[in-house]
Structure formats: structure tokens, C-alpha cells
Amino acid sequence: MERFRYEILFQKIRNTIIVYFLSIVAIYSLTLKQANPTFLQNNEMSVRLFAYGVLNNFGNVALALLLILIGYCINGSAKWVLKKYFYIYIINALTFIGLFLWSRNFTIADLYNVILPISRNTYPLVVGAILAVAFKDNTKKWFDRYSLNLILIFYGVVFTLPTLFDKDLFGLGNGNNILTAFLLTTLGVIFSTKSYDSLGIKKLTEVGGLLLANVALSLTMPYVSLKVHGDLSTAYRFDVLTSATVVGTAVAAFLLVKKVIAKEKFPEYSSLLMLVFISNTFIISKLISGEALLRVWLLRSVEIVTVIFVLGLLAAIVDSKEHMLERKWKLSELPLVDWIKQVRQDFVDYLIENKYRIINIVILYVLAYCSIIFMSPDFSAPHMGDKATMTIFSYTFFCRQQMIWLNLVLFYLIYRVLLGISNRFWVSAIVNYLLVAIAVIADVIKIHYRSEPILPTEVTMTSAYGEILEMVPKSILWIALIGIFLLVVVILVCEKKARQKRIGIVSRIIGVILATAIFGSSTKINHDNSIAGDFLASYGNNPTFENQEHGAQQNGALQQFLNNIDVTIMKPESSYSRKRMARIEAKYTKLATKINRKRKNKLTDQTMIFNLSESLANPNQLEGITLSRNPLPFIDKLKTMTTSGMMISSGYGGGTANMEYMALTGLPMSNFSPTIATAYTQVVSESRQSITINDYFKKSTAIHPYSGAFYSRKSVYQEFGFQKFMYLGSKDKIKHQSKIGSSPYISDETAYKNVLDLINGYHEGQFINLVTMQNHMPYDGYYDNADKFQVEGNIDDGEKSVISNYSAGISYTDKAVARFIKQIDKIKKPITLVFYGDHLPGIYAIDTNKLEAREADYFIYSNKYARSHGAKKLTKVKHVSPNEFIALATKQTNTKISAYYALLTKVQEELPAMKVYAFHSGKKAKFVDNQGKTIKYSQLTKKQKELYNDLKLVQYDLTTGNQYLIKTNFFKIG
């Protein structure tokens, strides 16, 4: 008995060694082919080249022999196939996960290959082999009618004719297909039932001669190929799995090992998994990286094969110990035909029992599809513009199918959270639909007005929701309320008429935990070496931070929202160090000293007003739009008399706070990471200390005649050091609150009255930051003078009406500015007004990437007293970016500056205006000269590049770095 056990163990070891050796040869050959070492690329004769030819040949012989042995040794059935294929599927999926965690990348095709291996033909050798084994009994019966010699002649014809004529006559290709695997495995089946005695010594001698011929061809074909073709294009013609010499050699090798092979102890899983690794190019490609020594690849091949055998052993253990599949799928209870009928019936019963849950998935799929297509206002495919050859409908369905499923999963996770809380199917499902629909509609509205979806920074402004709702037309709110009421009725009816079975507490908890984990992983999407980020990038997530609208069209509203949850402020600067910042500090301190010698005034003595005029930009500047009268006659005339031009906005239809940030700090948005959507909420909160122009004044006040909740202004202004922030409802009351017509917003004229109170109430210099609200959307019929501004152009009547109403509003701003200028001219102290529109209103059907869509009016006006004390008009400032206002204002008022402002002055004078919005490239700086021409970074001079890089380093130090400059005199005025 003991001896019998040892014999079994010995047979098992012997079989394993044989298969292990064959696997190493096959994998080593495949590894070298994938690695493509230099000697395979040079088209030169070498010993290594000939050795590789022989190895490649033997690798295919080993693979052919392995297939023959599988057919010879393994017995199977249809149920056996199902069971083996299931475990192989699981192992392949786990291998994919492991290789992704190792390499951190894959393609969507690789993922499809794992999920759908049969339809994608991922591992055809496995399918061909197990099908041959499954039909083993039928094959034996069919081939019993023919002699072995006749069968071998048939095989000889099938493999010899394509080899001789170098034509794929029977669709065998290079052998990596189901048909080749089936034929070779079936040959093993035939050998298991036929006698070999009839082959005789003579036949064996012929086979031996074939073996020698095979080696000879492997050695000589590289030489022949180089001589005839001048390259290695036909060097390996006979070194493929379908070559007659390879198959013949495999048969000869089989005849040698069949006497020592034990049929009952063959390593089934290891053999089949070897076929998976050989078939699936993704696996080998991930295991090969760069070029190495041949012995290194041999060692790597041994490691790969060892892992395969370990996985095969584990699968065999699970297969023998775990009978879950047999119980769950009734594999061992019924004959095959009855089993198929039972499976079909169980499937139908499952569909009927869970029809509402399946319908829920279908609805979520539709919502996921809609959450992508509705992100395109004109339903054109993203990034294609006028060259688009497909709509967003077909583009999303055929090109971004994976993102539909990703959004479906995300919506389903929200449903599972609701289900975990309520444990009521209809409540969870319908409330989920409502939440998704509201979010998509909100995104559609925002994209319509501002060309970007809702971002996380805006959701954090919870205290501003009341004000946001006031902007929504009342008709939409009533429709929403009626819709919510109807949904409540539907929920109640469904819960009563079609109540679904509740789920257990464990399932509820698992659903909530899984949803929390997946949504929580979004905080790591933008981190380097993040598993979530690497997976989504490989999966097809394309954030397109430089164009959030296109990002939503690529990924869907929810995924684009998650892409923006956690962002990097600025990418690390390689040249950043304490010493480098010290050199910059010294460099611009010296420059400031030089500049200050020529300047007479002190900044603290000035009364400086930065006035952001909401959405102010003359419609006449747009191509194709002409108004019957100019809504800004005074401002246009004033611009000819003082420092003025066009300010380049970072936003279209929105982004007010970003213009504020640049104006107050001197830091351009374009230097931040493309993931930064709103500096106020994403940058200021992360910075230990911010430097703004109001820091240089004894008194500073911010005024915003609306809610103080937007863009977290309350905390931001406090961080900036403003002593007062006056808004509706603030402790420091806004005294004047008049409006025009039926407008819900405080007028600009009234805003200026509040500013005059501050000016007249303080005799020394001060800084005032005024952000008006009068011209904020929507642009309804608030004013009775809209008919005076008739619009001409190739646009529809609805757009003309909106533009007319908007023009009527800014005409009131023009009159208010005229009165304010007249009033400050009477005040006997230096007052300078920096006036700028923050962006165009989102009411035009234009290409928002064009410069004209980003140009807002600006001017810098110093009152009579200031002009009589050194203030002067500046030239060559036709195009500026908001971060230049500090340099322009201090230069115009002839005031002394700090080293930091000396840097900003140098930037303003020597660099073209920064294009503070990015399209096509969110990482490469672009500029605009005074002629409106775009200048690339590469077109700058060496001196300009050095200046720009100095600014970037200062910005990095202040916002992300160690703030070395804060501890120096860089920001102090000497």
C-alpha cells in the first residue's frame, strides 16, 4: 500500500516536471519575442539569432506537445468544461487585477478581454483544448472507423499544405486560435485510443528525420531570409504552431514521453492556465519591460511558470475541496440535457422574480447615458467643433460606452446607500432617479450659461442655495414642486401595489460601505500613484480640466464632479529651493530700489478702488452682433482718455472670484494646475498666508451688495486681511440698497454711493474692493429701456431679446460710472479706480475659446487730485490680464513698491499679457500681445522665459511651497 502511494506521488511529480519543462520553453520563447532584443532588430547574422530561431521553434513544439498531452491525458465532459472554465476565468481576472496593481495601467480593450473572454476570443487555446476534451468520447467513436495512418495523413495534409505554399489555406493562421488548439488536442485524444504499434521502426525513423529537418530549417531560414529579402521577414516561417515540421516534431516527442506519462495524474489546471498565459498578450506584455540579458529573461520565465503552477495547484485544491458550484449550479445532479433545461428555467424565474430590479438597472443606464449627452448644449461630440462627423449621441454610445457603465455603477451605488437607509426599493429607486435628474438639469443650466458643469467647490457654498434658487425662473420651480409631488404619489402607489422584498441588514451595510469606499476613493483620483486614479485613467476617464465642459461630455456629469473633488494646486517646481528663492528676493529687491528712486508717492496715502463690474463687456465688440445704440458711451469715451483696454478673462459666463483673486494677489490662474477651478475655495483655504494689495493699507473694506456666501468670500476676505466685509445681512450694514425697475439686484449707482460713504468717512488712504451685482444673470425684462437697444445679427429672436435686456442693464452701469467719476473728481485726495468687467455674460452662441469671448472692458482712472500729484496715463496696455492690475495701478499712481510688486511690474512691462484661460493645453502657458495675437511659451525670448519662471516660483512658494519669501523683506516696501 505504501509503495503504491509512492508510485502515485512519483507519477504526479514526473508529469508535473514534464509539463513544467515544456511550459518554460514555450514561455521563454514568447518572452524573448515580446522583449524584442536588439539582435532581432539588426537584420544581422549572429549566434544569438540562430539560437533564438531554434528556441522559438522548440517553444512552438513544446506548446503543440502540451496540447497533444492534454488531449491524451485529460478526461472531461460538458460539466467539466463549465467548471474548469469558471475557475480559469476567475484566475485570469485576478491575474489582471494583480498586473494592474503592479504596472498601474491597462487599456479598455484589455478589460473587455478579461470580462468577455469568449466573445473577445481572449484565450482561444484554452477554449479549443477544453472543447476537444469535452467532446473526447464523441471523437473516439468517430475516429474508431479510421486507421491511425489515415488520420495522420489527414493531419499531414492539413498542416503540410499551408507550410509548403506559405498560404493560410484552412484558417489556422499562426496557431493562436481555437481551431488549431482543437485539432492538436484532438490528436492527443486519438493517440489515447489508437495503438501505436502499427507505426513501426520505419515510421519512427521518418519522424526522427522530420525532427532533424525541423532543426535544420530553424537554423537556415534566418540566413535564407537575409540573403533573399535582406531582412528577417521570412526567418521564422517554419517556427509557428501550425508548421508541419513543428507538429511532426511534437508528435515525435510525444511518442518518446507517452510511455512515462501517467494519464490520471496530469496537472490539468496548470496546463490550461499555461494556455491562458500564452494566448493573452496583455499578461506577457505586462511582465516584459525593456531589454535585459537572455539569462534574465530565462529567470523571469521560470518565475512566471512557477507562479502558473502555484495558481494551478490552488485551483485544483479549491476544485477538490469546494463543492459550491456543484450545489449552486446542480452540476452533479442532472444529465446534461436536463441540466440545461433546469438552468434555463432558473434563469427565467430569476428574471421574473427580479424584473423591477432589472428595470431599475435599465433606467439607471438610460440616466447614465443622458448624464453624458445632455452635457453638450448643441449635441455635438466633444473636441471636434466644426469638424464633428458624429453627434454626442453616437459618440457616447459607440466611443464612450465604458463611461456609461461607470456612471451607471455610480448611480447604482447611490441607490444602494438609499436602500441601506430606507430598506424600501421604490423609495430608494425613485428618489435616486429624482436626485440624478436634478443634478443633470442643474449641470445643463450651468453649462448653458457658463460653459462648465457644477464643481465640488460650488456645492460647498451651502449657505448660498437660497440666493441660487432666486435666480431660477419661478416656472421651473413650480414644475419641480409638481414633479416632486407626483413622484411621492408614485412611490406610495408602488410601495402598496408592487412592494418588493426587503434585504437583510448585512446586505444593507455592505452596500453602504462599498458605496462609501468607492466614492471616498475620488479623493485620491488626482494623486500620483493612486490606484483609483490609475484605474480610471486606464479605464478611459478623461478629466480635461482645462475644459470642464468637454470633460463632462467625455465622462458624464457625476464622474467629472468626482474628478474635481481633490486637486493639486501647482505641480512641484524642480528648481524650487530656499537658495533659489533667496536669489529671487535679492534680484527684485534691487529692482524695487531702482524703481522707487523715480517714484514719489506712497501707496498707503492713496485711496484705491478695485471695482469688478459683474458681466460687463460691450456686445458691440463681438463679431456678428451690432446694437442700434452703444450701451457704454461714457466708458468708451473715458477709455480714450486714461489707461484702458481689454482684460482677458479666465471665464466665460462665470468665474468672478478667479478674476478677483488675480486682481488682488497678482497671481495668474494659468499657473495653477488645470484642476483648480476656483482659487478662492481651492487655493486660499490651503495657503498658510496670502499676500494681497490691501495688506499695504491701514484700512481696507470689501463690498458685495448681495450674499456673502458665494465663493466662501466671508472666510476668504478675512484671510486676506480685510477689516470689513459689507454684504446684505452683514454686521457692517450696507446703507444704500436701491434697485432699478424690477431687477432683484442692488444697482451699481447705489453700490457707488456706499463706496463714497467709505471715502468720505476716512481721511487717509484706504483700499476698497467693490464687486457689483446689477448685471448678473438672468437677463429678464427688468428695465423699461430695453427696446432702445435693438440687436442686429444672424441670431434668433430669443437671443436678441436677452442681449437687449442685458444691454439695457449695462447702460445704467455706464451712467452710474459717469456720475461716480464726476463725484470723485471733486474730492481733494488721490483716488484711483481700477474698473473691469469680470467676464462676458453667458448669453452668446459663440466659440468660447476665441479671444473675443474672453475680452472684457477695463480702465484705470485717477481723479484730478491724483493726476495733479503725479498720476499719469499708461500706454501699450491694450491687452492685460487681471494679475497685472496691481502693477498698472502702482505705476499709474507713481507709488513706491515692494520687491514682489517690482516683479509684477517687470512681468507687466516685458511679458505679453497672460492668456489666463487654457484651451487644448492646460499645462503650457500662452500669452496675448497688444495686437491680440496668441504667443506660445516657446516663442518667448530667453529673458522673458526667465521672468515668467521667476513668477511661477514665487507663486509656488506662496500657495504650495514652504513660503520662504514670507520670512524675508520681499513683500515690504522699503
Q: How many CA atoms lie within 13 A of 9 on its CB side?
A: 6
Residue 502 DSSP class: P
Q: What mean pLDDT, rounded, does the chain reach?
A: 86
Q: Is the dihedral of CA 62, 68, 69, 70 positive or negative?
A: positive
- Cβ atoms of 473 and 778 within 8 Å: the answer is yes
Tell me the pLDDT band of 310, cut-offs 50, 70 and 90: very high
pLDDT tens-digit readout, 820-840:
999 999 999 999 999 999 999
pLDDT tens-digit readout, 902-938:
999 999 999 999 987 754 444 568 899 888 898 988 8
**β-strands 831-837, 607-613: how paired?**
parallel
Distance CA 508, CA 512 (A): 6
**Residue 833, H or E segment:** strand 831-837
Angle at which helices 108-115 and 531-539 cross, to 10°: 90
pLDDT tens-digit readout, 575-629:
999 999 999 999 999 999 999 999 999 999 999 999 999 999 999 999 889 999 9
- Cβ atoms of 475 and 406 within 8 Å: the answer is no
Distance CA 287, CA 277 (A): 11
Query: Which residues does residue 727 pair with via DSSP β-bridges, in sequence order?
Result: 704
- Cβ atoms of 770 and 608 within 8 Å: the answer is no
In the chain, how many H helices and how many E strands? Answer: 37, 13
In the three-class reduction of DSSP (H, G, I as helix; E, B as strand; rest coil), residue 710 is classed as helix
DSSP letters of 114-168? HH-TTTTTS-HHHHHHHHHHHTHHHHHHHHTTS-HHHHHHHHHHHHHHHHHHTS-
pLDDT score at 509 = 94
Q: Which amino acid is at 10?
A: F
Distance CA 424, CA 616 (A): 51
- Ramachandran angles phi, psi of 936, nearest 5°: -85, 160
Distance CA 229, CA 46 (A): 17
pLDDT score at 385 = 46
DSSP letters of 601-660? B-GGG-EEEEEEETT---GGGSTT-EESS-S-HHHHHHHTTSEEEEEEPS-SS--HHHHH
Cα–Cα distances in Å, from 404 out to 198, 537, 545?
Answer: 62, 15, 20
Distance CA 854, CA 451 (A): 12
Grid coordinates of 575: 528648481
Grid coordinates of 842: 453667458
Distance CA 652, CA 846 (A): 10
Angle at which helices 78-103 and 294-321 cross, to 10°: 130
- Cβ atoms of 592 and 974 within 8 Å: the answer is yes
Residue written as cell 468708451? 636
pLDDT score at 920 = 40
User: Is the predicted pLDDT of residue 463 greater than 60, yes or no?
Assistant: no
pLDDT score at 549 = 82
Q: What is the mean pLDDT of residues 383-389?
A: 52
Residue-wise burial string across 614-633, b where 16 or more C-beta atoms lie within 10 A, e elsewhere:
bbbbbbeebeebebeebbbe
Distance CA 60, CA 30 (A): 9
pLDDT score at 383 = 57
pLDDT score at 3 = 52
Cα–Cα nearest to 301, from 290, 316, 287: 287
**β-strands 766-771, 607-613: how paired?**
parallel
Residue 563 DSSP class: H
User: Is the predicted pLDDT of residue 539 greater than 90, yes or no?
Assistant: yes
Tell me the pLDDT band of 708, cut-offs 50, 70 and 90: confident
Q: How many CA atoms lie within 13 A of 232 on its CB side?
A: 19
> 584 burial class (0-12, 13-18, 19+ CB within 10 angstroms)?
buried
User: Is the predicted pLDDT of residue 370 greater than 80, yes or no?
Assistant: yes
Query: Which residues does residue 611 pair with via DSSP β-bridges, in sequence order?
Result: 770, 835
Q: Which amino acid is at 480?
A: A
pLDDT tens-digit readout, 286-309:
877 666 677 787 888 888 899 999
In the three-class reduction of DSSP (H, G, I as helix; E, B as strand; rest coil), residue 895 is classed as strand
pLDDT score at 193 = 82
pLDDT score at 477 = 72
Q: Is the dihedral of CA 944, 946, 952, 955 positive or negative?
A: negative
pLDDT score at 74 = 87
Task: Write the Ramachandran bin of 963: left for phi over 0, alpha for psi from -120 to 50, otherwise beta.
Answer: left
